[in-house]
Chain A
Amino acid sequence: MEPLSAEEVRHIARLTRLGLGDDEVERMRVQLADILAYFQSLAAVDTEGVEPTGHSTEIDTVMRDDVPAASLDRQEVLENAPDQNGEFFRVPRILD
């Protein structure tokens, strides 16, 4: 596998919205390359025809009856908001 490039780290940081600075990109690149190299051991495991496991319970999709119930109090929820107008979360413009 190709060694991890700074451009790849920047790309993932963009996808995950981490806003990394250049100093962080280089440090992360070195550490992540080290960790990814460690993962290479998995290539030796024969997984031909093996189903993937998402979680370890026997439970599948759980359904419930569609019954309306009380939700959290709006005022109480909005108290944690960085900015709000009493009814909605307020955010800066989303279009460039």
Chain B
Amino acid sequence: MAAMNDLTQITAHQARALLDARQISAVDLTRAVLERAGQVEPLLNSYITLAPEEALDQAEAADAALREGLGGPFTGIPVMVKDNMSTRGVRTTAGSRMLERYVPPYDAFVVERLRGARAVIVGKGNMDEFAMGSSTENSAFGPTRNPWDTSRVPGGSSGGAAAGVAAGECLASLGSDTGGSIRQPAALCGIVGMKPTYGLVSRYGLIAFASSLDQIGPMTRDVRDCADLLTLIAGHDPRDSTSSPRAGGDYAEGIDRGVAGVRIGVPEEYLGVGLEPGVRAAFEGALDVLQDLGAEVEPTSLPLTAHALAVYYIIAPSEASANLARYDGFKYGYSDRSGPTSWEVMDDTRRGGFGAEVKRRILLGGYALSAGYYDAYYRKAQQVRTLIRGEFARAFERFDVLATPPSPTVAFRIGAKTGDPLQMYLSDVCTIPVNIAGLPGISVPCGMAGGLPVGLQVIGPQFGDATVLRVAYAWEQATEWHRLRPPL
């Protein structure tokens, strides 16, 4: 099978087969990935922190477990973790100067699960500061570049986790998705990325951005790996009060049942202004294939989609303004102690520690929550959120899943949208409604436009994660797009 120099490009389940057959060791695999990261990091900047020594120690432990026949699907598999998930003993920055030297004293739930499975954590993925952004240009540690064209963004905010998987700097990664931060970069980098149902994966140890929307999920090279990684990280956790007792189980079970008779709705609002012709063509081609596979594809309408972006950019900054109040320069993180009193320390610390986009969102949230504006903005947005959830619920009475593009465009050029925040926010127009309603959504590679990847988004009802994976798997197995790798 794969030669040594191809090890960085295979899927986790292919690596698993090689590990089980003793054709390679976890140490071989980890060394190959570290070597690849060494080659491409100067171009891509996917990692904020690489942890080669810890990774090789974990690989040796994985090999020992494999020799005893104790391996699971991710034993010995090199994985990147987005840098907003706490890793005990390895600094966790959330892409912010505020946390440049913060070393968590505990592991996030998902990191506990990775360690328990003896996966290898190669390092921490670059991201927009506190996950606020759609291009990974807001990182205090420099932008990540798209492996398909290094003059372009990888998407965001999980841009490092997407670029790393696409470029062979890890075999899979964990991202987080508040308004599209897994699915949009997955689409722009040509990989699989899934936001599970809200409550499926514990947020314990995830650095909070907007708690009612944040969800951790897998980023992988194919849908089987995505299902296996979701199976590893899903589960009830009493330390997250929104963790669902319904979480858990084998999400790979039944993914190969096909789509014959599956009812797929295509909401016309996702095909509106700003949709690039190449993205539309790839999307329509995908619908034809799904129809040929036996799915019933039908147009539909979700008129409230037009209001989802406004709802999101009121609710998410409001929650962020409260969540980020903890960065005061006293307990951990950056601290500017030049002022004489604690008030000056707070002001100076937050002024120097936060980047422009984070400040913008804190102000936006502070404004929406402040006296006199609360009803007009925050309460109004929460009411429209109720209506959007209802609209989705009605759609899922008629359809098993919905299909849309995950992004109206392919990867854009670095710097193209940094001067106009509202234009940047519009990048998330196809992914945000899914977070507002707490639904599962996946992006799978579905074509190329002008040499750049295009994704297909499949959205399911709450806890319909297995159905979403099944439709994505049927599409993927009928096509070859997931086998493409960037010519880097």
User: Which residues of A pack against B, CB within 8 Å?
Assistant: 1, 8-9, 12-13, 15-21, 24, 28, 31-32, 34-36, 38-39, 41-43, 45, 47, 50-57, 59, 61-62, 64, 72-73, 76-77, 79-83, 89, 91-96
Q: Flag if B321 contacts A16 (CB, 8 Å).
A: yes
Interface residues of B in 346-377 (CB under 8 A from A): 346-348, 350-351, 354, 356, 359-360, 362-367, 370, 376-377
A29 to chain B minimum Cβ distance, whole angstroms, is 9
The complex places the Cα of A17 from the Cα of B335 at a distance, in Å, of: 14
Given contacts A18-B347, A18-B350, contact A32 B342 (CB under 8 A): no
CB nearest to B211 among chain A residues: A55
Given contacts A45-B384, A54-B212, contact A18 B340 (CB under 8 A): no
Which of the listed residues B325, B330, B337, B348 has the most CB atoms from chain A within 10 Å of its own CB? Answer: B330
Q: Flag if B359 contacts A31 (CB, 8 Å).
A: no
The complex places the Cα of A35 from the Cα of B365 at a distance, in Å, of: 12
Across-interface contacts of B366 in A (CB, < 8 A): 12-13, 15-16
Q: Flag if A19 contacts B367 (CB, 8 Å).
A: no
Pick the 5 closest A-B CB pairs, nearest first.
A56-B438, A19-B347, A52-B382, A82-B335, A19-B351
The complex places the Cα of A12 from the Cα of B364 at a distance, in Å, of: 9
CB nearest to B378 among chain A residues: A52
The complex places the Cα of A56 from the Cα of B389 at a distance, in Å, of: 8
CB nearest to B104 among chain A residues: A80
The complex places the Cα of A66 from the Cα of B377 at a distance, in Å, of: 38
Cβ contact of A39, chosen from B102, B313, B337, B370, cutoff 8 A: B313
Main secondary structure of the interface of A (DSSP, over half): loop
What are 7 A-B contacts with C-beta separation under 8 Å?
A: A9-B363, A12-B363, A15-B370, A17-B325, A20-B359, A47-B384, A91-B330
Main secondary structure of the interface of B (DSSP, over half): helix
Q: Which of B64-72, B116-124, B226-234, B303-311 contacts A (4 or more CB under 8 A)?
A: B303-311
Q: Flag if B346 contacts A17 (CB, 8 Å).
A: yes
Q: Flag if A28 contacts B340 (CB, 8 Å).
A: no
Interface residues of B in 389-428 (CB under 8 A from A): 389, 421-422, 425
Interface residues on B, range: 35 or more
Given contacts A12-B363, A19-B351, 12 further A-B contacts (CB under 8 A): A12-B366, A12-B370, A17-B350, A38-B310, A53-B385, A59-B242, A59-B244, A72-B105, A81-B330, A89-B330, A91-B345, A93-B341
Q: Flag if A52 contacts B333 (CB, 8 Å).
A: no
A90 to chain B minimum Cβ distance, whole angstroms, is 9
B238 part of interface (Cβ distance < 8 Å) = yes
B22 part of interface (Cβ distance < 8 Å) = no
Q: Flag if B106 contacts A57 (CB, 8 Å).
A: no
Given contacts A19-B350, A39-B313, A80-B333, contact A93 B382 (CB under 8 A): no
Given contacts A19-B347, A42-B310, contact A53 B105 (CB under 8 A): no
A77 to chain B minimum Cβ distance, whole angstroms, is 6
B101 to chain A minimum Cβ distance, whole angstroms, is 8
The complex places the Cα of A82 from the Cα of B343 at a distance, in Å, of: 16
The complex places the Cα of A47 from the Cα of B375 at a distance, in Å, of: 12
Across-interface contacts of B306 in A (CB, < 8 A): 41
CB nearest to A34 among chain B residues: B422
Which of the listed residues A21, A79, A82 has the most CB atoms from chain B within 10 Å of its own CB? Answer: A82
The complex places the Cα of A41 from the Cα of B310 at a distance, in Å, of: 8
Across-interface contacts of B242 in A (CB, < 8 A): 55, 57, 59
The complex places the Cα of A21 from the Cα of B351 at a distance, in Å, of: 9
B241 part of interface (Cβ distance < 8 Å) = yes
The complex places the Cα of A42 from the Cα of B311 at a distance, in Å, of: 8
The complex places the Cα of A3 from the Cα of B366 at a distance, in Å, of: 17
